[in-house]
Amino acid sequence: MHLIFLAAKTLEAMDIDGGGTSAAASTSSPVPVPPRSSWQKALHHFKQQSLPACQPVLTPAWIISTFLVLGIAFVPVGFVSLHASNSVVEIVDRYDIECVPDAYKSNKVAFIRDDSISKNCTRFLKVDKHMTAPIYIYYQLDNYYQNHRRYVKSRSDKQLLNGLQYNDTSSCKPEESNGGLPIVPCGLIAWSLFNDSYLFTREEVPLKINRKDIAWNSDRHHKFGKQVYPFNFQNGTLIGGGKLDPSIPLSDQEDLIVWMRTAALPSFRKLYGRIEEDLHPNDLIRVNLTNNYNTYSFGGTKKLVLSTSSWLGGKNDFLGLAYIFVGSSSIFISLVFLLFHLKERHHGDTPFISWNRKSTAV
């Protein structure tokens, strides 16, 4: 029995030693981590949100000063912008109603669709303030939704640039072809080209209208082909708007180029030309116009606009009023914050903590 006990002890010791050896063998030394590049370190810090950052403490003094500086900067800019807008002189004349004969006042659509009735009309514009050249001539349309999705999509930019070389005009529906032949330019936008015309005289002397360079140069040189000519345009049974001279390339048809840049809002102005001489106070301008364009069928209006410009552009009070409003609001907010800051307690006064205040009350 004693020998058996010694043999068992010996085996147990051998197992312990073997287990220790295997455990030691299984416990390997740590694998060295390869060094990280600067990009990997930066990415690691970014993922762990441990990048160095500026975290300013928004103290009341900083907040009040920021609002006050914004207000002091914005208000003068607003008044300067408003002054520039008010320096623009505009003459606006709505003529779509007055240029309809009395017999057709109740049925304007019948008048505009009847080609046998003369569409000539004469209007008189009085100049109240001095207008310095160049004086821009605009036509303004109201309640005209050029931003309608089907209307905007009804065009082919590739055809405008390449002409008949581009055959796919499916995007121009329903004005893609006529009589089995393609239309150049195709689409509803070109088909509805504005076609009223204006002639100006002052004291029986015609005023010269410059109708060149009224379109964007980028449109003329990059969107409308110099070798693309109108083809089969307005030859259908239903005529939409103005016609184009087939001997003039599209890149030189600036009326079309201006019209093809669709407006985002239902009331818009488009440039017709420029008068390059000054108009003086009390000048009486006679306008001989043709009232061809149909806005009566959808309740639209037409206006003729003569306008000067300033260093900020045309007449638009919104920018100046917006600056003044934001600046005034910032100054008001800074004063309100200042009053609260002076009235409130100092930060860090422990007696004002809620639990301390309750214990004191008890």
Contact 258, 250 (CB under 8 A): no
- pLDDT for 29: 60
Do β-strands 90-94 and 181-182 pair in parallel, antiparallel, or remain unpaired?
Answer: unpaired
For 302, the enclosing helix (H) or strand (E) is strand 301-307
Residue 353 pLDDT level (bands cut at 50, 70, 90): low
Ranking 19-28, 182-191, 219-228, 255-264 by mean pLDDT, the lowest is: 19-28
DSSP secondary structure code for residue 29 in this structure: P
% of the chain surpassing 90 pLDDT: 63
- pLDDT for 41: 84
DSSP secondary structure code for residue 277 in this structure: S
What residues contact 259, with CB distance under 8 A and at least 6 apart? Answer: 189, 190, 193, 194, 270
- Token pair 């240029």 is at which residue? 99
Mean residue pLDDT across the chain: 86
Give yes or no for a cis peptide into 134 (omega within 30° of 0). yes
DSSP secondary structure code for residue 164 in this structure: G
Question: Torsion over CA of 280, 286, 290 and 294, rounded to 10 degrees?
Answer: 60
Ranking 71-80, 85-94, 246-255, 338-347 by mean pLDDT, the lowest is: 338-347
- pLDDT for 173: 87
**Predicted confidence (pLDDT) at residue 352 exceeds the cutoff of 70:** no
Residue 357 pLDDT level (bands cut at 50, 70, 90): low
Residue 197: phi, psi to the nearest 5? -130, 155
**Predicted confidence (pLDDT) at residue 335 exceeds the cutoff of 90:** yes
Instruction: Kindly state the tokens that stand for 248.
Output: 């003039």
What residues contact 35, with CB distance under 8 A and at least 6 apart? Answer: none
- pLDDT for 23: 43
Top-confidence residue, 84 or 351:
84
Residue 351 pLDDT level (bands cut at 50, 70, 90): low
Top-confidence residue, 46 or 23:
46
- pLDDT for 68: 95
**Predicted confidence (pLDDT) at residue 6 exceeds the cutoff of 80:** no
d(C-alpha 141, C-alpha 139), whole Å = 7
Residue 331 pLDDT level (bands cut at 50, 70, 90): very high
Contact 289, 95 (CB under 8 A): yes
Q: What is the DSSP string of 281-292?
A: TT-EEEEEEE--
Half-sphere CA count of 134, side-chain side, radius 13 A: 17
**Predicted confidence (pLDDT) at residue 360 exceeds the cutoff of 60:** no
Position 58, amino acid = L
- pLDDT for 33: 63
How confident is the model over 53-80, as pLDDT tens digits?
777 778 888 899 999 999 999 999 999 9
Residue 200 pLDDT level (bands cut at 50, 70, 90): very high
Domain boundaries, the chain: 67-87+316-362, 99-120+145-265+280-291
Note the residue count of the chain: 362
pTM of the model: 0.77
How confident is the model over 161-187, as pLDDT tens digits?
998 888 888 888 888 888 888 899 999
- pLDDT for 298: 92
Top-confidence residue, 23 or 115:
115
Residue 279: phi, psi to the nearest 5? -115, 135
